[in-house]
């Protein structure tokens, strides 16, 4: 059998990542996380682009070395074409185009959100139809996956992403960025039913998190007038109640969508899939509805090039290549 070594690049937000995928298997997956954004409380696009420029060659070198191959053995390039921060995407796209042109190699453009879903196919092979809830700092989508490259977005957020909602709650509580994991940590010690926040109900399978965020903000403002230390004294219960609300909204819609399509194989992806409340609720919903539940390794849940390479591999098998005129796009449908 002919050996296919795909060099995959991911640079859509604040992680610079490179991976080598050999005949559909991940040989290496390197990720350089940018820490410059922490002090700003969010990703600063211009700083992200600059950090990608500094990181890209060392990260690619590390991925190639770690895979135990040499540059000349690479047979195709895959890169994140959309969606993401345009300056960040440009760094990865330019690198991949230059490499492909210099070596005369096929070039594969990958959609970041399809790649999050296909991260489930790195270590496992869930049968189709498969449904994935992708939840991260930038995205919240319910995707119906009929085949590797045949996907349909059933629902998505109309405002904040789920991770953003977690981070904003954390910020209101005075926790550092990104606060999602801290909310999770304190929630484990608190009572999820102590405070009630409204579950904003959107039509169909869509989400909206701005209502919960505002209600928590007003609630904290009111309580802090009576006791300035209210949030500090009740941190665990506030985190537990906020997490309970966000998770419930996610699982309600996912269940509704899975039932409507009679889906029995359900997964979660994206950084928020690390959330212990979401994992527990997914397992419970799985028990109740007879689903087999899938959660990829955490390294494949957050932004990474391995998922770009797997998606690239399925596109490679179909001969779905792009030419050098391709340019990245901040927004894109599939």
- Chain residues binding ligand KG4 by CB under 6 A are 13, 136-138, 163-164, 166-167, 178, 180-181, 183-184, 270-272, 274-275, 302-303
99 neighbors 107 (Cβ within 8 angstroms): no
Identify which of residues 88 and 241 has a Cβ nearer to Zn ion in the complex: 88
Helix (H) / strand (E) element for 150: namely: strand 150-156
In the complex, the smallest distance separating the C-beta of residue 164 from Zn ion, rounded to whole angstroms, is 12
Identify which of residues 33 and 54 has a Cβ nearer to ligand KG4 in the complex: 33
Question: With CB under 5 A, what is the number of residues at the site for Zn ion?
Answer: 2
* Interface with Zn ion, residue 164, by CB under 5 A: no
What's the residue count for the chain? 334
**Residue 328 binding target from Zn ion, ligand KG4, none, CB below 5 to 8 Å by type:** none
In the complex, the smallest distance separating the C-beta of residue 72 from ligand KG4, rounded to whole angstroms, is 33
**Residue 181 binding target from Zn ion, ligand KG4, none, CB below 5 to 8 Å by type:** ligand KG4
Residues tagged in the binding site annotation for Fe cation: 112, 116, 303
Angstrom distances, CA of residue 268 to CA of 125, 136, 143, 166: 14, 10, 10, 17
Rounded (10°) CA dihedral 37, 40, 42, 46 = -60
In the complex, the smallest distance separating the C-beta of residue 275 from ligand KG4, rounded to whole angstroms, is 3
Identify which of residues 11 and 136 has a Cβ nearer to ligand KG4 in the complex: 136
* Interface with Zn ion, residue 303, by CB under 5 A: yes
Place of tokens 């169909």: 204
In the complex, the smallest distance separating the C-beta of residue 14 from Zn ion, rounded to whole angstroms, is 10
In the complex, the smallest distance separating the C-beta of residue 264 from Zn ion, rounded to whole angstroms, is 26
| DSSP state string for 272-287 | GGG-HHHHHHHHHHHH
- Residues near Zn ion (CB under 5 A) are 136, 303
């Amino acid at each position: 059998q002919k050996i296919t070594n795909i060099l995959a690049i991911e640079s859509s937000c604040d992680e610079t990542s490179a991976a080598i995928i050999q005949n559909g298997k991940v040989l290496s997956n390197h990720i350089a996380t940018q820490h410059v954004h922490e002090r700003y409380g969010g990703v600063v696009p211009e700083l992200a682009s600059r950090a990608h420029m500094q990181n890209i060659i060392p990260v690619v070198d590390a991925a190639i070395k770690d895979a135990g191959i040499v540059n000349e053995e690479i047979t195709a390039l895959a890169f994140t074409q959309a969606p993401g921060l345009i300056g960040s995407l440009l760094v990865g796209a330019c690198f991949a185009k230059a490499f492909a042109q210099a070596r005369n190699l096929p070039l594969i453009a990958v959609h970041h959100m399809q790649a999050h879903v296909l991260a489930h196919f790195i270590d496992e092979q869930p049968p189709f139809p498969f449904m994935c809830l992708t939840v991260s700092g930038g995205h919240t989508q319910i995707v119906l996956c009929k085949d590797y490259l045949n996907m349909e977005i059933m629902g998505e957020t109309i405002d904040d992403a789920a991770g953003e909602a977690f981070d904003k709650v954390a910020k209101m509580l005075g926790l550092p960025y990104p606060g999602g994991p801290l909310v999770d940590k304190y929630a484990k010690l608190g009572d999820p039913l102590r405070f009630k926040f409204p579950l904003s109900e959107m039509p169909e399978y869509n989400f909206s998190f701005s209502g919960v965020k505002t209600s928590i903000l007003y609630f904290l403002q009111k309580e802090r007038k009576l006791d300035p230390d209210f949030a500090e004294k009740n941190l665990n219960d506030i985190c537990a109640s906020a997490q309970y609300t966000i998770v419930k909204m996610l699982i309600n819609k996912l269940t509704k969508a899975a039932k409507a399509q009679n889906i029995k194989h359900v997964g979660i992806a994206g950084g928020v899939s690390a959330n212990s409340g979401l994992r527990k609720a997914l397992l419970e919903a799985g028990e109740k509805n007879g689903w087999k539940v899938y959660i990829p390794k955490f390294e494949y849940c957050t932004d990474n090039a391995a998922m770009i390479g797997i998606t690239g591999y399925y596109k490679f098998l179909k001969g779905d290549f792009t030419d050098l005129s391709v340019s990245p796009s901040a927004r894109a449908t599939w």
